[in-house]
Amino acid sequence: MPRLPLRARRTAVAATLLTALMTTLLACTSPSPSPTGNSPSRARAAETTTPTPTTTAGPSAAATPTSVAVSEEPDVQAAVAAGAEFFDVFATALNDGDSTALRRWAGPGCGWCESIAQQVDAQRQTDGFTGTEAAAMVRHSFDAVTTRGGREAPGEYVVEVGADHVVTTTWEEAPEMWQIHIGEPERLVLALALTQGDGGWQVDGVRVVEGG
């Protein structure tokens, strides 16, 4: 296979690290809930995508949607909707290189949130994130999203959000010749500890249930 430009290799490695480290990810001060693999295919295409970050953290334990009774009550459903919204914010941060909204959602003790935000910021600085002008472009897509949740205590909820995660890396091998690597879909499932305050919902902890 043709050798990627230095900047392209660095960005592709970042995407690989994100996928690998997701399996051991955790951190914050709450939820609890294991992993999968990745394999690329190639094709020539003129495609616009964006860079990405990576993250690491260390373990913790607490309630999960499987240990908390799943509920359809209105307050729980509101928490589930908030969890789905946070997952979308997380995905957007990876693709846009902007951690602002992610940090806004993060509670003071959410180490996982901070770790992801720092990696988003670092990747932006390292690769000189310029959107479609980047030498190598990495995009994360999340499909087949599922959600469920339960109440751990009054005002405290655990929400599990899952999606099929695909990492696509695109770079220009030569003028007008693009290479693209599309990873196999892997299930990513996050368990979120959520509380609601005067300022709205916040994520107090995150644990990877299934990584990919």
Percent of the chain at pLDDT > 90 equals 49
CB-based contacts of 175, cutoff 8 Å, min separation 6:
none
Query: How do residues 165-183 score in pLDDT, each as one tens digit?
Result: 999 999 888 888 889 999 9
User: pTM higher than 0.75 for the full model?
Assistant: no
Query: How do residues 60-119 score in pLDDT, each as one tens digit?
Result: 445 666 667 787 899 999 999 999 999 999 999 999 999 999 999 999 999 999 999 999
Given the structure tokens 């509920």, which residue do they identify?
Answer: 71
